[in-house]
């Protein structure tokens, strides 16, 4: 299709979706429709927000939109975006790097199979007994979700900071919960370092875990699927001997407690060391 014709056809869509990159919207929209996903959903809007410079916001929208579509179609769309002939689209060549970033985000969306060439390595050995965990788009160490950025809180408080990393983490958790209804109970653990009173640390960890659970329930995840737990300093990843080690020990962890109501392989008790974990 000629670029001029694509621009003409795209004008009604631009009006419907809001401001966008005139140069890239038509070819992105065209490939989106070829992948079998119709309309003007969050994936296309998120890609354009990402191109316009709001990368955290754009990524969040793309992931939310991807979760509403079949993984094979999202993966097909990601491949098509990566292969757009930007050198033949006037004014588009300068967007090569950002288009590759978008393709990688979509290819790595939960359920889409990961970016080209990604190799997560062999899965960890299963624990004795338990129900096999089968989930979409989630990386596990035993029954614990891994590869998810930590959630940042204000010092000594249970307020979730309004940071891009927190937005990404919460979006990943939300999409993971939406795409995997077979996770019937997810444990949210709040961990601290060893400074201060142990009981106070445990209470702070509990409030932080509850804050994450409250955010997820406010965005549609049923409260009866979430189990917030305050661990305090009971399960340190490192000795609490340096500022860096203490910072690593202050964290939020996510463990699958039940799959379809059954305890899964790799299950660990709340606040207990995870033998599958790679530090």
Domain ranges of the chain: 3-107, 139-259
**253: nearest Cα among 155, 119, 108, 140:** 140
Ordered per-residue pLDDT tens for the chain, 279 residues: 443 343 333 333 333 333 336 778 888 888 888 888 755 567 888 888 888 888 887 888 888 777 777 777 888 888 888 888 877 877 777 777 788 888 888 877 655 544 433 333 333 444 445 788 988 888 999 999 988 888 888 778 899 988 888 898 999 999 999 999 999 999 999 999 899 999 999 999 999 999 999 999 999 999 999 999 999 999 998 899 998 888 888 889 999 999 998 999 999 999 998 888 776
How high is the pLDDT of residue 279?
60
Contact 81, 31 (CB under 8 A): yes
CA distance 274 to 200: 24
pTM for the whole structure: 0.55
* Region 139-259: CATH code: 3.30.1330.60
| Complete DSSP assignment for 76-92 | HHHHHHHT--GGGSTT-
Give residue for tokens 């179609």. 73
CA distance 228 to 208: 8
How high is the pLDDT of residue 143?
94
């Amino acid at each position: 299709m000629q670029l001029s014709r694509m621009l003409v056809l795209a004008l009604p869509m631009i009006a419907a979706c809001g401001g966008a990159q005139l140069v890239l919207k038509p070819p992105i929209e065209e490939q989106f429709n070829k992948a079998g996903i119709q309309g003007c959903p969050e994936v296309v809007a998120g890609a354009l927000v990402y191109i316009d410079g709001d990368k955290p916001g754009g990524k969040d929208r793309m992931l939310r939109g991807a979760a509403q579509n079949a993984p094979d179609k999202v993966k097909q769309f990601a491949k098509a975006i990566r292969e757009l002939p930007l050198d033949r689209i006037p004014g588009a060549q300068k967007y090569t790097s950002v288009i590759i970033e978008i393709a990688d985000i979509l290819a790595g969306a939960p359920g889409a199979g990961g970016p080209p060439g990604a190799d997560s390595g062999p899965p960890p050995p299963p624990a004795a007994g338990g129900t096999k965990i089968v989930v979409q788009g989630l990386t596990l160490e035993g029954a614990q979700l891994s590869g998810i950025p930590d959630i940042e809180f204000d010092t000594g408080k249970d307020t979730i900071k309004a940071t891009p990393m927190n937005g990404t983490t919460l979006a990943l958790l939300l999409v993971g919960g939406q795409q995997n209804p077979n996770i019937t109970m997810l444990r949210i653990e709040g961990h601290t370092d060893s400074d201060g009173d142990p009981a106070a640390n445990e209470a702070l960890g509990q409030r932080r875990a509850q804050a994450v659970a409250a955010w997820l329930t406010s965005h549609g995840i049923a409260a009866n699927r979430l189990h917030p737990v305050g661990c305090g300093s009971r399960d340190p990843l490192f000795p609490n001997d340096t500022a860096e080690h203490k910072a690593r020990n202050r964290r939020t962890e996510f463990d699958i407690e039940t799959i379809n109501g059954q305890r899964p392989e790799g299950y660990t008790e709340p606040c207990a060391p995870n033998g599958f974990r790679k530090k």
